[in-house]
Structure 1
Amino acid sequence: MSTPSIPERFIRVAAWLTLGAALLPLGGCAVAALPCRLTAATLKIVPVVGHAAATPFDMCSSAID
């Protein structure tokens, strides 16, 4: 007995719609600053040097806003 699978095309469309819905509330500047914010948040996870390494990316997002 095989289980019905979800077509890959449907999953891809659903992923794009979810991403679009998540970015919709953000303003123009917030969308531009998103890569800087994500990079900074990711770097802050690294122990000891994370916050120092994230400082330029925090300043980047602040400058865009």
Structure 2
Amino acid sequence: MKKMVDVEKFIKKIELEAYVKEILAEIVQMVDKKIKEDMPGVNIAIRIELGIADDRTPRRKDNKRNG
């Protein structure tokens, strides 16, 4: 079972630049407001994944180059 996290508390805890925290909080609030307007009584879970971007092209095992 996945544990639900309060996104706003999470944003406050992680160490990001202030402007990034503000942008994430605005996105969460905007989505939450829109859901409440369009679907009253519906609760949502928002998942934010932070990671390191890797711009390398993925290599396939079957795509070996023979010199």
Common fold by TM > 0.5: no
Tell me the TM-score normalized by structure 2.
0.30
> Larger relative contact order (C-alpha < 8 A, sep ≥ 6)?
1
Tell me the TM-score normalized by structure 1.
0.31
Larger helix share, 1 or 2: 1
Task: Specify the structure having the higher radius of gyration (Cα).
Answer: 2
